[in-house]
Structures are given as C-alpha cells and as structure tokens.
C-alpha cells in the first residue's frame, strides 16, 4: 500500500470519529459481560472453509472461504445454481477483504466478475481501542456506541429515531433488542409517533462457526442470513442463535447438528412455525487454524 493511500485511510478514520457521536438514548446492557477489543482471532482454533446448501440439482449454493498466511479471510466465493423462467441459471459473487494490519477496512463485492458494473464497497472505521465505530456503504452511514467495554447501541447519525439498544446475558449473547417503530393509522399511513419494539433471542451452548471476522460483526459470512434480522445480533453473540421472537411469537428458528468439536456441522432454518419438516440444511466444513 503506498503512502498516499495509507494517509487517506488514517484521515478517513479521524473524520469518522468526529462524525459519530452517541445517540440520544441511555442504554443499559444489564450484564456483567465484558467484551475484549479487538476481539481475539481463532477463538475456536478452527476456520470455516466451505458452506453448501442443496435443495435439488437445480437449486444449490456453495461458498468457499480463502485465508492468507495470517489466517485473515481474504475472499468468499459463492456459486449459486437456481431455476427461473428462463431455465437453470448460474451466478457467482465474490467478496474480497482488505486489511490494515489486523483491521479490516474494506470489503469489495462483485456480483459479476466479468464486469465492474456490479461492484460496490463497504468501508469500516475504528477508534483507538480497535472497536468498530462506523460503517459506510453508498453514502449511507451506521454508527456503533459502547458502554463499559460492550457495544450497547447502533444508530444512524442525524436521525434521532433510528437506533437499536442491545442487551446481553452473562455469556455474551444479545438476548434482547429495543428500537423505535413508526405507528401507523387505520389507513396504514405513519402518524409521526413511535413505539418501542422489543425483540428477544435464544442461543445454544456451542461456539459459532469462526471466520476470523468477529470485529466486522456487521458482515454476515453465512450466505442467505443477512436480511432476516439485525446481522450484528447474531455475529456479536458468542453462541449459535436458535430463535428470535417478536411480541412473544417465534419469528425464525434454527436447528443444528454438531461435529465432534462442538461446532455446527449442519444448520436448518425455518420461518416461524411454517415448517415442511424437510428443510434443506447448510453444511459446514472446517480446518484447523495454522
């Protein structure tokens, strides 16, 4: 990396510190848990090398994870085969990870490697303690605030009603989130008022699959898992999420089978109680971190 690029990144980080101030809330994580920053690498001693999902010969996906000599994830390559109106199609998506030392500062995603038209970047900014404080994508910014060593809220700068408060248990799992939600009238139109929405989460007692990306908790390395709930809730927690509920009703459920190391070998997902009883499984492969 040349000197100009290095200086540019340092300036960008300093600017991000000035841009992110704590939101106008007073969250209390209510836990004795204390997080180490930056999060330690190789906390399980094993790294995910592949994830596959197979429904049938016309509907399957395979992801390959590549690491450098320092066990930093440098690329994720996803091959997807699916059937649509035009027949059986194949697509590929490549995520490339760029670092300054041990800190990930950019992820570049290419949805079609033959052209740069479908390429975009996600940028990461840190404080002096190695804690992620801001991410940006297409001029959209999200900030992260901390209290007593624990990340306790996520918010959009200059948008007072766009924030989420995080609550942990003593194991380091996020068991509850609270955030304002717009209230609508009888016609479905927003009234301008808000009510607090509470979501609760449950976990097993086994370690999550390790990609050495814990400090980039806003990136979901498991494909297909990035849009159904806040990504960071899953990736900041120590164990594997098994459900989350809204208003006391299970919205999503995950079931696992484990290998002899206690790591997830298969994972099945269902939306609430809508289960066919035969959901295809995500299969995980690992290698020992060198």
Provide the pLDDT for residue 30.
55
Provide the pLDDT for residue 7.
41
DSSP for 253-271? EEEEEE-TTSSEEEEEEEE
Provide the pLDDT for residue 225.
76
Residues in the chain: 290
Give me the domains of the chain, ranges plus CATH numbers. 3-288 (2.40.160)
Q: Are 244 and 271 in contact (CB under 8 A)?
A: no
Q: Are 179 and 164 in contact (CB under 8 A)?
A: yes
Question: How do residues 99-153 score in pLDDT, each as one tens digit?
Answer: 998 899 999 999 876 655 578 999 999 999 999 999 999 889 999 999 888 999 9
Query: How far apart are the C-alpha atoms of 106 and 94, rounded to whole Å?
Result: 14
Highest mean pLDDT among 6-10, 93-97, 246-250: 93-97
Instruction: List the one residue out of 122, 143, 144 whose CA is nearest residue 219.
Output: 122
Per the DSSP assignment, residues forming a β-bridge with 83 are 88
Instruction: List the one residue out of 217, 212, 220, 17 whose CA is nearest residue 102.
Output: 212
Query: How far apart are the C-alpha atoms of 89 and 83, rounded to whole Å?
Result: 6
Question: Residue 271 — pLDDT band, cuts 50, 70, 90?
Answer: confident
Question: How do residues 153-167 score in pLDDT, each as one tens digit?
Answer: 999 999 999 999 999
Secondary structure class of 136 (helix, strand, coil): strand
Question: How do residues 39-54 score in pLDDT, each as one tens digit?
Answer: 999 989 999 999 999 9
Query: How far apart are the C-alpha atoms of 101 and 98, rounded to whole Å?
Result: 10
pLDDT at 232 over 60: yes
Distance of CA 133 to the CA centre of its chain: 15
């Amino acid at each position: 990396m040349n000197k100009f690029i290095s200086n540019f990144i340092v300036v960008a980080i300093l600017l991000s510190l000035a841009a992110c101030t704590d939101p106008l809330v007073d969250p209390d994580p209510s836990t004795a848990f204390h997080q180490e920053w930056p999060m330690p690498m190789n906390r399980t001693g094993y790294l995910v090398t592949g994830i596959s999902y197979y429904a049938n010969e016309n509907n399957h996906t395979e992801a390959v994870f590549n690491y450098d000599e320092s066990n930093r994830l440098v690329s994720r390559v996803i091959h997807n085969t699916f059937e649509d109106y035009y027949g059986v199609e194949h697509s590929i998506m490549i995520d490339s990870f760029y670092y300054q030392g041990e800190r990930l500062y950019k992820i570049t995603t290419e949805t079609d490697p033959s052209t740069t038209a479908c390429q975009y970047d996600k940028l990461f900014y840190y404080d002096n303690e190695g804690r992620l404080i801001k991410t940006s994508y297409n001029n959209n910014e999200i900030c992260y605030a901390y209290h007593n060593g624990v990340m306790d809220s996520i918010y959009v700068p200059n948008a007072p009603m766009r924030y989420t408060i995080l609550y942990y248990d003593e194991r380091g799992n996020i068991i509850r989130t609270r955030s304002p939600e717009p209230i609508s009238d009888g016609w479905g139109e927003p009234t301008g008022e808000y009510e607090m929405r509470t979501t609760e989460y449950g976990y097993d007692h086994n370690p999550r699959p390790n990609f050495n990306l814990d400090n980039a908790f806003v990136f979901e390395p498991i494909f297909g898992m990035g849009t159904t709930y806040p990504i960071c809730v899953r990736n900041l927690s120590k164990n594997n999420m098994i459900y989350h509920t809204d208003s006391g009703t299970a919205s999503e459920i995950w079931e696992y089978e484990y290998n002899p190391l206690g790591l997830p070998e298969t994972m099945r997902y269902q939306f609430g109680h809508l289960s066919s009883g035969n959901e295809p499984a995500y299969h995980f492969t690992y290698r020992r971190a060198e």
